[in-house]
Amino acid sequence: MRKILLQLDTDEHPSPFDAIVAYDAGVDVVLPYPGVTPPTVRKLVQGAFFTRGVGDLATIAVWIGGSSVPLGEEILEQVQDACFGPFRVSIMLDTNGCNTTAGTAIAMIGKARDLTNRRAVIVGAGPVGLRSATLLIAQGCEVTVCGIPPEVFGADRPYRSPAGLAIAKRMGLHVVEPADRAGLAAVLQDAWIVLCAGPSGIPILREEDWLEHPAIEVLADYNAAEPLGIEGVKATDALVERNGKLVLGALGVGELKMRVHKACVRRLFERNDLVLDVDGVYAVAAELA
């Protein structure tokens, strides 16, 4: 039987990236569904797995994508609720690529350095930043999620307090919202690891903010678009040393991220009850790092 992947995408147009990577990972057929909402999930999932006998359910899996992480998490719950008894299929959640990106980056850093009892500051509260916070806490870090001072954005990009900060607070994370660059520098004062997870194309940390900073040992920038989020690093940095700091750029994460992505898709078809959320994806990334 052919391996079939249901691509449940919450956006208007299903991601071609997700579909192409699925084919590259060996999936035979990708069935893309756009604009998926929680009430539509049960019919789609059950309409797929009822075509197979119980012994063949590992030939069908569900991929959840799109740009909304909260909505993706709701879709995941609905997929799990649609399964019952022996009728189960494996599921992967990677809205906005947040799980594969964060899982890969933290696995790479964790392989290079012991993360236990380290203080981490994540500047920016987007999906990848919040996933990184969750993973770092699980590795024994003390984590602060830091907002971006309004002055960083400039006149051409008016400041808006990101919804991610409110989500971080609801998650029980320690959140700081500095009023200016001086406040941001104060948050970084005793950080050991700094992750920059702000909006694309916004330079957030100046080179002077980290260059001579004695406590910072690891820097990671999730922004691949110029100008980068951290001045003085390169997007292609893959745990290279710059001025005594270990630096990881967005493209430096990319090669392993793609291998993790494909490995996760392949594992969906090894059994019919696997759930690859952020923890599951991180476990795969840690094996491959």
Structure tokens, 48:
């797929």
Structure tokens at 252: 């430096």
What's the confidence (pLDDT) of residue 159?
Answer: 55
Helix (H, G, I), strand (E, B) or coil at 108: helix
Q: Read off the DSSP letter of residue 87.
A: B
Q: What is the DSSP letter of 27?
A: -
The pLDDT score that the predictor gives to residue 152 is 87
On whether the CB atoms of residues 70 and 41 are closer than 8 A, the answer is no
Residue 173 has pLDDT above 90, yes or no: yes
CA distance 210 to 194: 9
Look up tokens 């719950």; give the residue: 77
Q: What was the pLDDT predicted at 160?
A: 59
Find, among 44, 19, 96, 49, the residue nearest to 262 by Cα: 19
Could you report the per-residue pLDDT of 24-48, keeping only the tens digit for each? Answer: 999 999 999 999 999 999 999 999 9
The encoded tokens of residue 203 equal: 């330079």
> 3-state class of 66 per DSSP?
coil
**Residue 159 in contact with residue 179, Cβ under 8 Å?**
no
Q: State residue 23's pLDDT score.
A: 98
DSSP-assigned letters across all residues of 184-217: HHHHTTT-SEEEE---TT---B-HHHHTT-SS--
Look-up of token digits 């009430």: 39
Q: What's the rounded Cα separation, in Å, for the pair 180 and 177? A: 9
With 0.85 as the threshold, say if the pTM is over it.
yes
Mean pLDDT of 131-148: 96
CA neighbours within 13 Å on the CB side: how many for 204? 32
Q: pLDDT tens across 219-274, in order? A: 999 999 899 999 999 999 999 999 999 999 999 999 999 999 999 999 999 999 99
What local confidence, expressed as pLDDT, does residue 201 receive? 87
pLDDT in tens, 93-129: 999 999 999 999 999 999 999 999 999 999 998 899 9
Rounded-to-integer distance, Cα 118 and Cα 237, Å? 22
Residue 268 CA from chain centroid, whole number:
18
* Structure confidence at residue 240 (pLDDT): 96
Tokens representing 239 are 């745990």
Closest CA to 229 of 270, 195, 255, 259: 195
**pLDDT for 158 beyond 60:** no
Query: pLDDT at position 50, please?
Result: 97
Structural tokens at position 174: 């320690």
Q: What is the pLDDT of residue 260?
A: 98
What pLDDT was estimated at residue 165? 87
Give the pLDDT band of residue 164 (cuts 50, 70, 90): confident
Average pLDDT, the chain: 94
CA 101 remoteness from chain centre: 4
- Residue ranges of alpha helices (H) inside 50-86 are 69-82
Binned at pLDDT 50, 70 and 90, residue 153 comes out as confident
What sign does the CA torsion over 35, 48, 127, 224 have?
A: negative
Residue closest to 96 by CA, chosen among 118, 56, 129: 129
Give dist(CA 275, CA 280) in Å, integer.
Answer: 7
Give me the pLDDT at residue 75, please: 98
Structure tokens at 63: 């991929």
